[in-house]
Structure formats: C-alpha cells, structure tokens
Structure 1
Amino acid sequence: MTLKLPNELVEDYGYFSWEHLPFNPEDNGGWKYKLIAGSGPSSTASKRYNTIKKTLKDTKYDFIIHAGDPDQEGQLLVDIVLKELKVKIPIKRYWSNDTTEGKVLDALKNLRDYNEPMQQNLLKAAYGRQHSDYRFGMNLSEAASLKLRTRAAVGRVKTPILAIVCQREDEIKNFVPKTEYGVKAIYGKDFSGQLYVPTDDDGNEKEEESGLKYFANKEDALNLISHLNKIAVVDTYKKERIGTTAPKLFSLATCQIASGKLGYAPNETLEIIQSLYEQGYVSYPRTDCCYISSKEDLGLMLKSAMSISEFVPFIKTISKDDIEKVKGTKKYANDKELESHGHSALTPTAKKPDYNSLSKKQQDIYRLICRQFIAIFLKPLIQEKVTLITDVDGHKFKSSGKTLVSEGFSKIFDTNFTDTVIPLYKKGDVINVEEYDLSEKTSKCPTHLSETDIIQICEKPHKYLLDNKYKSLGKNLKIGTPATRASIIDGLITRDKYLCKKKINKKEILVPTESGRLLYENLKFCKICRVDLTGEWEERLEMVRRGELDFDVFEQSMIKDTSELVNDIKKADITPIGGNKKSFDTICVCPQCGGNILSGPKGYFCSNWKEKSCKMGGFKNICDSKLSDDEFVKLISGEIINKTIKKGSSSWDQKIKYNFEQNKYDFISSEHTIKKSEYKCPSCKSELEENGKKISCKCGFTFWTTVCGKDLPKTQINKFFKSGETDIIKNLKSKAGKSFNAKIVLKDDKKGTEFKFV
C-alpha cells in the first residue's frame, strides 16, 4: 500500500499553485492509503489484499501474528495493512530475523505484545519518517516547480545526492594544485626519516602519516636544512606485531561498493543478488546489517561456498575450532546487534549452487559474497610494525616500517605487500645522516563520483555536515536506506534527468545535466540540499524511538519545518528555468477547454493548465522518436497516426492514438488483438501474451521478436524459451550502425533479455 497523492485526497486540487502550499494531509481528511498498482509483484497487490481480507472475515482467529521484519520499516508496512483492514482482534509481534529452526521456534513461543512501549515507539518513528518524506517531497517539489516554472523533483534523499555530485564537480573545476615541502633525513639506501611533530593522532591507523611536518614555502624547508647537523640520536624505537582480522561481512551497501570495483552499478548489483536470493543461494539482499546469528549452521554455508573451486583449498584449512571461534566473535556473530536490524548480513545459504551454471554476473557477485564469508574463518594477517623517532638539534624525524609475518586471510583477497625494513636500534644510538633532501607533497584533484561512490557517501555522509553536532549520531546518520538508494540514484538519471553517466578513463562517473545543475544552483542555499537535514530528522526520530519525544510534537515540528522550507524557496532569488506560456508557439485550440495548445521544449500542454487545471498534453518523445507538432494535432483531433518508433537499436512501425481519459498515448497493436502465446513465462511460469512483436507477462517479463533490426527466426524463439538463450545471431545492428554477433539470453532477474558475446 502507498499514500494517496494530494489530488487523490482533494477532488478539486487542480494543478500546482502557491495557494495549496504547504499541503498537509491532516487538514484534508487525514493520511489515507491505496493499493499499489503496477507491474511485477505490484500487479497482485489487490488480489493479495482481498485474499487476506476475505480470510479474516470468513474465519475466527484468537489473534494475528505480525511477522514483518524486526525493524522500523517492517513494523510500518504490516501495520498499514492491519489498520486498513480495521483488525479488531489482538495482535502479537513475531520479533526475530534469525531463520535457524531453534530461534524461529523460540520467537513463536515468545510472541511480544504489540502494544508494548518499545513496539509502539518504533511504529511512531516509522510513521513519522514516512509522513515527513511525503510532506517534503510533495510540498517542496511543487514549490520548486512553481518558482522555476518547470517540473522539479525534490526530496530529502535525492536532492542532497544531486547537491553532492554538483559540489564535487565544482571542486574539480575550481581545483588549483598546492605543493608543500617536507624535510627528509637520509640515513642510507631505502632508509630515511621525515620531519615530524608529535600530535594527538599518533597511534591511529594512519600513524605513518600523522604528525609529518610540511612547509608552504620551499625556502623555509631549505632554510631549516641549512641549519641541521648530520648526527641523529635515537629517541624512540618501537617494534610490535599487529594482527588484523578479516573485514566484516557484507551489508547490501558494502557489497555494492565492492561490486562497483568490478564495474557493476548499485541497481545492477541489487538485481543480481535478488536473482541469487530467489534461487535460494544467498540471504536476503536489502539488508543494512553486517552480522550473523551465533546459531547459524556455518559449516553448511561453507560447504555451499565450496562450489567455487578456487576457494576449496581455503575452506579445507578451516577447523571446527575456527567455526566456533567465529560464533564467539562479536565482530561477525552478534545476536544483540542482530536484534536491531531487520535482516542478517549477506552470506551464502546452505543451498549449494552449480556454480558453472550461473550467469557470469551471478558468478561474480556470488564469488564476492562467498569470499567475504570464508575470510572470517581464516587466520589474522600478521605484520611486524616498527616506528623509529630520532632527534636532530631538537627536531624530530620519524621512520615507519612494516614487514609481513603471515598473510592469513589476506591471501584469499590476493593482497600484495611491500616490506619496508627499519634496522634494529635502541634509545641513545647515534645514526649518521648522509644528507637532507626535500620531500614534496602536491594536492590531488578530487575525483569524479561514481554510483558506487554515492552509495559509500550515503553510508557515511559525516564529512558533508555543516554542523558537526550531528556527527554524534554516528552510524545512525545515513542518507536513505540500502533498499531505496540504488533506485533513487537510478531515478535521478533515468526519470528526473538531473544526472547522467559519462566514461572517463574507463570509469563510469556521474555528472549533473544542465537541468540538474540549474536546479542545484537555484536551491543550493536552501536547507533541502544539506545533509544536516537528515541529521536533524534522525535526532528527533531517535527521541521518538526512545519515547523521549511525543509523536504529535514531532509531527508539528515537521509541519513547521516544511512550511519554513516552502517559504525559503518562495522568497529565494531564483532564476526560472522554464519560460512562460507567452514564449511558446500555439499549435491549435484545446479540444477539452478551448484554451491554446502550446508547444514547449519537451512536450505539449494547454494554456489553461493553471486557471482551469486542464491536463491536455503529452511528451514530445515516444521512446527514442520525436512527435512533430502536426502529428500531435492529429492525435488530439481523434486521429490514429502511424509512426516509426525507435528504441535503442530497434525500430518498428506503430499505430498510436490519444487516450483522452488519461491524457496519454496508447499503442494500437497491428493485429488489433492481444493473443495468448504458446510459451510460458520463464519468471513466474504463467501464460504469456503476444502483442505484435512483443511477448510479455503481467509479472514484468518482456521478449521482443525483433532485435537490433533483425526479425528472430521461430527456431531461435523456441530455443530461447526452452533453454534461456538463443544460438549466436549474426549481423545485428548497433546504435552506431555497426554489425555484431551475439546470443540473446535471459537476464538474471528473469524480466527481460540481454546480449551475450561469445
């Protein structure tokens, strides 16, 4: 279920107007929900809802078990349905994300009271977040659209992401290299010390760099060198063995970051993990947790990982004691931490795949997940670390060295090490300085951001805060959730067109489009662009969760914030992006209200869109083809037009008519009928439908019988639906008009097709 839009709550809401703002559902009948409609799982929402409704009506129950995920979102999603169903019988809460048999039975035997304060406070925080996202999105998008005179999509997550990308591009554009100069004492070949000033940061993980002294002017460094003698006295010599254990298990975000190094976009990674999950090979994908239960059968999970031959030698070294040690290590198996998350870390399951039968993409991601999992059972990485501090005329010089003692877990990651050896000394020893030299450090230009970089920033956005007090939120300060970030980034690219992908040195990066840049430039001084806004929210929501802030007080504070943000935008010195109706060409009279149909940059609209809320109009682009003014006039005159439609490398002749009830274009099948197909859906096994050159299913699966300008032979279509791939199809045409050969194979998510180059 999803919240109703303003125009669904208020019958005569009309089009965008300052008179509506700020819009608060509380003043318009309250918060109301509707069933989700759409393709895929959404298409069955109504059926599933009515089945539950009928079951509750026809059968008497003692109580209902709320078995949503044991977290804020899980609490909310089921509660919405229960409230819509007006459930009167008692509700008990199943509270566990541990799927081991013993823990499941334990949770069922100890169902929680749904009305206990902790449960209700968590639920209030969930509604608070949902309501606030709605308020901000609806009000600020409308306010920005009015001020900019064009459609503007604004939100608590998407707008800071856009701002971060724009800020990085500004940093790159305005970057001026800066060189600083250090002083180096050379004691011998590959043995030197760097001028150093002790700091409170000594002892941190970057100790080699902490405290090193650099001069802004080269002359200052040279002047110091001219006054130094060549006798260095050992002040400190410290040798220690450092053990480093394997990194934590993957959450969705950290897996997306790791897979980004293999070239996978966050959304693509999620789709691949989802496909592996649906086949039973990995745990639940949309997790923000990096811990597992101490009751898991880790031995069976390791056996599944043995499906990857290169990992077998590592797994064979793992003993029962190693497994028990992991179960007792809070870094990996942490039952207490697990209680505060909806799902456990990403791991292989007890179901062992035929690794060679997985697609290349599935193999890549399954391998990453298994490698991260196996590593936690392996021995620590052991290094010997040496720190030498010398004194020359009261000036300190620091030398840092590391040598490898034992690779441990790092071997499975193919980590390379370079030893830096520091000779053995004791305090008071004298070292002769052969010479002094300058060491230069030049600042590096910031790098462009990729989708993976954005995921990483969303996980830890602390450096983008203007007010450091929100740093105290620690791990609770995040932009968005693992489940939604990838789709929000994708929406900024594909739907909003505020960001676009670009390749630089084989790396795919994100840059703002012209409209994205204009939106940012106009709103960058508004609070909605700042990460601090999320900090404020989290601070208040945490108080609601702890029962320290009344829910109604929280709601009123968000209403106040929304009103202030709307006024910020209204009063801001903003340059309109869109023009006004006088600057657009009139192409005909509106058949619905008698106004003028205007031709804008991206679409057609009625001059009475504001005064009479007339929604007559449409986009100029259909797929990759563009309508002419004459073609649009014919469509709204009731004519059916025939147009060549292009989509990627494919093109076809399509009959199109205008749907006056929904103000959109409808494709008319060349056969004028949709017929049942002889094939079964590879995703849900339902009967498929054929509509011209498209074979599709209500679950979202689509197969085109014409690909890149080539009609597929019946034999190849048969082969695809039998085995999931065709033979090599020759002489396919790319967008650039070049010929290529490839197989057409089923995507990992089983919703479409892709090319496989052999």
Structure 2
Amino acid sequence: MILTIAEKPELAEIIAKAFGGEVKKNGYWECANNNFVTWCYGHMLVLTPPDKVNPSYKTWVMADLPMDLTEVSHEIKTTENGYVERQYKIITDLLRKSSSVINAGDPDDEGELLVREILWKENYNKPVQRLLLNDLNVNAAKKALSKLQDGNSEKFMRLALKALARAKGDQIYGLNMTRYYTLLNRQHGGNGKLTCGRVQTPMLGLIVKRYEDFKNHVKSNYYDVYSSHDILKSVYLKLIADDKFATDGKILSPEVAENIKSACVMKPSTVVVAKVEDKHTPPPLPFDLLGLQAYMLKDNIDPTETMEITQKLRSKEIAAISYNRSDCRYLTSDQYDEAPATLEALKKYISGGILESVINNNGFDIKRKGIAFNDDNVSAHTGIIPSAEPRNLDKLTSKEKKVYEAIVLRYLLQFLDDKKYQSAKVIIECEGYRFGGSATKLVSPGWTALEAEDSDDDSTEENTDSAFDAISAVNVDDVGVCNDVRVDKKETKPLPVYTMKTFLEDLKRVSRYVTDPHIKQLLLSKDKGKKGERGGIGTPATRATIISNLESTGYFTVQNGKLIPTEKGIGFIKNLPVAVTAPDMTALWHEQQMMIMEGDLELGDFIININNTVKELMNPELSHGIVSAAQNFADNKPVGKCFCCSSEMKLTPKVYACQNEGCGFKIWRKISEKELTDNQMQLLMNAGRTKVIKGFKSKAGKSFEAALVIDKEQKRVTFEFAARKA
C-alpha cells in the first residue's frame, strides 16, 4: 500500500481523483492500484512548550532565563473538538500499514516540514517520494505524479531542516525575550505582558518610527523651478536637479533658484531630447493574499476578516476559489488551458454588475494569454483565482460576496486588452540648465475602462491633450526662447502615518529602510524569485495575525484609519536595543537557514547561535530603558467608565474590569475563542454593544458571527444574532 499525505483535505481529494477509482473513507481516500490518500490540517505537530520541557518553566521566574529549549521535540496540536488528534491517529494507523509514502506537502520548506515532522516523530524508515504540486487541479496532479522525486534525498531533508530552524529559532527567541522583558518590567513597578518576537517587534518598530518621524518632522523650504518656452506654447517644464546646485534633488536656497531664473529668462533654448513612444499597461496581476487584504480595505473589510472570508470561500462547502494564503500572483499554463471551462462556470453565477460588463467588453478574449500565465514565476502556490465548480454562492454574506467578486474581477481582467497610450517626453537646455517634462495621450482604455488604475501621487506628468500635442510636436535641435521662469516655494513633508493599506504594502519591502548593505542584500535575497516581495518580513499568512496581536496587546490603536502607536508601544520600542527592533535578525537567520539547506551549517549549530543571541540580549547594560520606563508599561491604566455602574474601568491583557467591587462587571478579551481588539472592547464599554463580529466558535467548533451586547441587569456580555431571513 502506497500512502500519500497531503497538506490539506482539498489537495488530498484532487490527488485521489488523479489516481482514479477514489472512494471516500473516514479520514482518507482509497484509490486505484492500492493507493491511499490522507491529509493534514496544516501543521499537526507543534514544538513542545516550555512547561512540558521542564515543569518549572510553567511559572515565569527570572532565575530560569534563558530557558533551555535546545531539544527539538514535538507534540500533537490540541484542538477544542479534537479533530487534529483524530486525524493524526488515522495518519499513523495508515503509516503502519504502508509500504511507502508520498509527501504531498506544499512545494516549499514549510510544506516539506509539516509532513516530514510526522514521519520523524513516528520513526518512519520506509521509502518516501516527493510530490511537487502548486496548482490545485486534477490534470496538474496527474502530471506531478508522473514526476515524483526521491523524498529521502538530502535536498528535501535539508529543506525541512531549514523550516524547522526558523520555527525553533522563533520559539527560543520569542518565548525567552517575552518573559525577560515582562519580568524585568514587573520587577521595577510595571505590569502587563511585553510580548517580543523576531517579526512582530520590528513590525511595531516600523509603526512607531513612521509615527514619530511624522510627529517630530521639522518643516523646511525648498524651491522648484519651472520654465516655459515659445516652442511649447503654455507648457511648463520642471528643472532637472543637478548636484551642482541641489541637495538630494532639492534646491534649498531661494537665491540659487532666483539666479537660475535670472540666467534663463528670455535666453535661447534648445531641444536636446524629444521622443514619442507607444506604450501599454497590462491588467493588474491576480491577487496574492496581502494584495487582496489591502484591496478590500476600501470596503472596510480588515485584513483578518479578509483572510477569514477567503478561508470560507475555499472551504469544501463553498469551493469558490483556489488556495488563499498565497504569496504569488502568477498562474500556470494549466490554469490558462482551464480558463474557458472556468468562464462557463462563472457565467452561471454572474448576473448584472461589473463582472458581466467585463465579459461583454469588446476587448474580452478568453483565449488571450496575458503576462499572469507564467510557469517560471509561480512559487509554492499560484495567484488567488475563482474555481470552476463553486457551490452555495447564494449563502454568502454581503462582505463575502465583495471579496469573491473582487477575486473574480481581477481574474477576468487578465483576458482584457492592455491599456494603450502614447508617451511624449522632452528635455530643453537653456544656459546650461535642463528642464524636462512629459505627457501622455490615451489611445485605448483597455482594462482600465472597468477597473481604476493605481495612481502615482508623485507623478508630475501632464495628461492633457494640449500638453501632449505641444510636447510631441517638437524635435531634437529645435531652437526657441525661454519666455518665462517660475519659482515655487514648497515645504518638505514627512511620510504620512501608516494606514493599514500602506503598512501591509510596506511589509513587502522593509529592505528599503535598511542602511547596512549586507543586511539589505540578505533581505532581498530571501525574497529572490518571489514576485512582488522585495526584502519583506512576515508571510502573507502571518502578517494580519501579528498586526491583530500587536493591537490587542495594546501596542497601537487605529484612529481615523491611521495606525497610532500607544504610549506603551512607543516606550517599548524606544527602550529596546536596536538588535531587537530592526529586521536584521530575520536577514541573518535567513542566511544561516540557507547554509543549513546547502549543508554548510547544522541545525544544532543554528540553535546554539540563537541561544547565544538570547543570552547576549539579556544584558543589564541593554535593558536600562525597560527598567527606567517600567511605570509606563502598565496595562491596567484607567480607560473609561463602567457601562453598568459608571465606576472606573481598567484594561489588562486579558480583561476589561470594573474597579467597583460591588459591581464586578468584566469584559473578557477572549470570548468563544475570539480575541477582541481594544477598539471592540472600548466600543462595547462605551455604547453597550458592538457591530457584528466574525470568528466566534461554538463548543462544537463551528464558527459563527454575532454582535456583543451588555446585559446591565445580569452584568454580563451576551450575543445578539441577526434575525434569520424567511
């Protein structure tokens, strides 16, 4: 018997269909030729927690730090209704009966690890083959099954070790540093939990720095110089900055600007560059998770909610989209071949609206193969697109429909014409100074007739037909006169405070803020081959969760759409050593993980390095800031009045509690497995109710949504469900 272990149930079903003769059993598929296919629910094993490693670690004590978490061991993930434990037993029972295994984890290091760690824990020593599949359809699965590789080769073993090193490093670093800073803070009069992590703390550092730079920005003046010339009619060209008279591209002295004006007015000018080019802009690529999360903010759907919705959309009940936690925006050739069938399926569900407008557009051609279809650019997964066989779309909520329709629209745009336009550019020289400008003229809107193009706020390009006509009419060596020069006094502006959209986008390119050339290059190399990622931190699947945790821990709040760090968040970042707040550690770990994969470093040596890093950071000389700021890290500061008795309320990491002992009203942060944000808790306290919140779980493990309402008589929080439609 050959056992295939897939990363997730929907992948197992596709592989089973590829084998043929599939019959669904309890927790697995039985297929033709003695093939059995079972599945994981992502990582089914977790690293052994500290209190299981050493019972004394259950209590947070400074004397135990740094905790010795060197040993690598796993235990089965505990779930409320036991579904992981039950499935794990099914897998192990099948393993005992099998003659060999096919590892069908995702084709990346995490996918390799989550199946491999089960084989390690169960001491499986029979043959293992590796299935590499990044497109969830039966034809792609058949092709992949014909190209199985040796799963026990050193290449795949070391790929798993690379992922294990990252997980183990995060455990050792995150748990130790969180305990250290929390206990240090408590020793000196503070309270609350100061969480610290390799990714989350640099993410908070970005929010704090952007806010502080904005708040402390000192305005200064600079001067832009524009000229007009008789051969260009009324079009003004901007002075091209030169290091001889500008600093960092800006003229800082008004005298310099006026001297340029005096030198050029009514002087001869010559065209040195003149060109008109035909250009085109292809449709935007399909969404990856982060891009979808940023896009849906326009509909007031936050990143966590978007991810939860996509989880539902790809569930077996709905089966409306491809894999949702993707960091890739490209598609495979197989997906191009399936496009006509997908379109026919979608037509059943599209009636009216912009989606129908796409199909009826004259430029729509399902046979058009745009730049999105590129096998070389596909990573572990493909872009998020609609499936050919969705189900139960009539059961979607309004928000779920918006997310689904955004995914469908972005997919259909791939089959529309490019936007076509002409671009005219000119550079004129006058008295040794160069002035330049450009303009565009739309030839055909293409896909932009149906979806707005992202605008470039920094663009100075003219888009009027008159400007284009004037610029495109001149030729190199044409001679004229500079008939006017205008000097505009301007003020420097700081980068704006992050919104959720701009922060999500910046997390893909953190390397732009790194000054150390070696660290910058390491971050960039980490994302080599990942289109759209340029030295980022975190992953599409973890970023939204980390952001939510930072908010719920009280490190920042969202005010008028802007991410504003709290006093606690600002104080924490300001008083940490740079090594903890910078993204350098992610880069350095990646370098060592690559060495592990290439056989130049062993996992044990990597763990020793992490332990040494933790010991070095637990240095009193590096911790003065935490000690001196301890009183500022209190989580139980008064934050409002009790809705039941109007007494003072205080907020801690776990509960919002009334300080009147006679009342004793509390709002727990976690309700039915849902972690509430500070904003949700504050709204409940002030208004006595919240909007509908998603993500609650019943005792049976089923997700549900409801508003929270305070029952003043009973002094408790209750659920309020929307009325069911007749």
- So what's the TM-score if we normalise by structure 2? 0.76
Q: 3-state DSSP class of the match of 2:114?
A: helix
Q: Which residues in structure 2 correspond to 1:344-493 (within 5 Å)?
A: 344-352=382-390, 358-415=396-453, 419=465, 420-423=467-470, 424-472=473-521, 473-474=523-524, 475-476=527-528, 477-493=535-551
Q: Are positions 1:337 and 2:377 aligned together?
A: yes
User: Aligned to 1:444, what secondary structure does the other structure show?
Assistant: coil
Distance 1:486 1:198, change over 3 A: same
Please list the CA deviations of residues 146-176 of structure 1 after superposition, one character each: whole Å capped at 9, or x if unmatched. Answer: 3222432100111011111111111111112
Whole-angstrom CA distance in 2 between matches of 1:256 and 1:242: 30
SS at match of 2:198: coil
Structure 1 residue 50: deviation in Å?
A: 2.3
1:567 and 2:609 are equivalent in the alignment: no
SS in 1 for 2:495: coil
Rg larger in structure: 1
Does structure 2 conserve the Cα–Cα contact (< 8 Å) formed by 1:303 and 1:352? no
Match of 1:513 among 541, 557, 566: 566
CA distance in 1, matches of 2:615, 2:406: 46
Counterpart of 2:228 in structure 1 is 186
Match of 1:108 among 129, 136, 145: 145
Give the distance between the partners of 2:565 and 2:314, measured in 1 at CA: 34
Residue 22 of structure 1: how far off its partner (Å): 2.6
Give SS of 1:363's match: helix
Cα separation, 2, equivalents of 1:63 and 1:353:
35
Equivalent position to 1:540, from 569, 582, 592: 592
Report deviation, 1:645. 5.2
Structure 1's 165 and 107: CA in aligned 2 closer, same or farther, altered over 3 A?
same
User: Aligned-pair RMSD on alpha carbons?
Assistant: 3.6
Aligned to 2:330: 291
Larger fraction in helix: 2
Using the alignment, how far apart are the partners of 2:486 and 2:392 within structure 1? 59
Bigger CA drift: 282-291 or 470-479?
Answer: 470-479
The match for 2:559 is 502
Stretch moving more, 95-104 or 48-57: 48-57
437-446 or 374-383: which moved more? Answer: 437-446
Look up the SS of the partner of 1:97 in the other structure: coil
Residues 468-477 or 427-436, more deviating: 468-477
Distance 2:605 2:624 in 1: 28
Alpha-carbon distance in 1 for matches of 2:574, 2:278: 52
Equivalent pair of 1:143/1:570 in contact (CA under 8 Å): no
Contact 2:223–2:488, Cα closer than 8 Å, also in 1? yes
Instruction: Decide whether aligned partners of structure 1 residues 353 and 447 sit closer, same or farther in structure 2, where only a CA change above 3 A counts.
Output: farther
User: Which digits, 9 at most, give the CA deviation of each residue in 1:552-605, with x for residues without a partner?
Assistant: 43333323223222337755443355469xxx9xxxxxxxxxxxxxx9879xxx
1:166 partnered with 2:208: yes
Equivalent position amino acid for 2:323 in 1: Y
Summarize the alignment of residues 17-416 of structure 1 with structure 2, pairs less than 5 Å apart.
Answer: 17-26=61-70, 30-39=71-80, 43-57=82-96, 60-149=97-186, 150=191, 151-187=193-229, 190-197=234-241, 214-230=250-266, 231-278=268-315, 279-296=318-335, 297-306=338-347, 307-308=349-350, 309=352, 310-316=354-360, 323-326=366-369, 331-338=371-378, 340-341=379-380, 343-352=381-390, 358-415=396-453
Alignment identity in percent? 25
**Correspondent of 2:54 among 10, 13, 35:** 10
In structure 2, what is the Cα distance between the partners aligned to 1:541 and 1:140?
21
Q: How many residues align?
A: 605
| In structure 1, distance between residues paired with 2:482 and 2:216 | 41
Structure 1 residue 493 displacement after superposition: 1.2
Cα distance in structure 2, aligned partners of 1:258 and 1:696:
31
- Describe the shift of the 1:710–1:375 C-alpha distance in structure 2 as closer, same or farther (beyond 3 A): farther
Q: Which runs of 5+ in 2 are unaligned?
A: 1-44, 456-462, 529-534, 639-649, 672-693, 714-718
Letter in 2 for 1:11: P
Q: Displacement of 1:317 after TM fit?
A: 5.0
SS at match of 2:570: helix
The letter for the 1-side match of 2:494 is: C
1:228–1:393: 8 Å Cα contact kept in structure 2?
yes
- Distance change >3 Å, CA 398–CA 55, structure 1 → 2: closer
Q: After the TM superposition, which residues 514-529 of structure 1 pair with which residues of structure 2 at under 5 Å, given as runs?
A: 514-523=567-576, 525-529=577-581
Distance 1:384 1:705, change over 3 A: closer
Distance 2:400 2:58 in 1: 48
Distance 2:207 2:536 in 1: 17
Question: What amino acid maps onto 2:510 in structure 1?
Answer: P
- Structure 1, unaligned stretches of length 5 or more? 200-209, 585-598, 603-617, 632-641, 651-682, 685-693, 712-716, 729-758
Could you give the per-residue CA deviations for residues 45-99 of structure 1, whole angstroms, max 9, x where no partner exists?
2222223233444xx2211222211111111122222222232332222211222
Relative distance call for 1:313 and 1:264 in structure 2 (3 A) is closer
Q: 1:468 to 1:232 in 2, by over 3 A?
A: same
* CA distances 1:199-251 after superposition (whole Å, capped 9, x unpaired): 9xxxxxxxxxx999642122221122122242222222111111221222211
SS in 1 for 2:573: helix
**Distance in 1 between residues matched to 2:621 and 2:297, nearest whole Å:** 36
Structure 2: how far apart are the matches of 1:706 and 1:325? 49
CA distance in 2, matches of 1:379, 1:703: 41
Cα distance, 1:302 vs structure 2: 2.9
Deviation of 1:108 after TM superposition, in Å, equals: 2.2
C-alpha distance in 1 between matches for 2:112 and 2:697: 39
Give the direction of change, closer, same or farther, for the CA distance of 1:518–1:68 in structure 2 (3 Å limit): same
Query: CA offset at residue 6 of structure 1?
Result: 1.7
Q: What is the identity, as a one-letter code, of the residue corresponding to 2:162?
A: A
Pick closer, same or farther for the CA change 1:221–1:348 going to 2, 3 Å.
Answer: same
Q: State how 1:541-620 maps to structure 2 within 5 Å.
A: 541-567=593-619, 572-578=624-630
Partner residue of 1:698? 700
Farther off after superposition, 694-703 or 388-397 = 694-703
Q: Tell me the CA shift for residue 705 of structure 1.
A: 11
Distance in 2, matches of 1:172 and 1:367, equals 37
Query: Given that residues 696 and 703 in structure 1 are in contact (C-alpha distance below 8 angstroms), is that contact kept between their aligned partners in structure 2?
Result: no
SS of aligned partner of 2:333: coil
Distance 2:182 2:655 in 1: 25
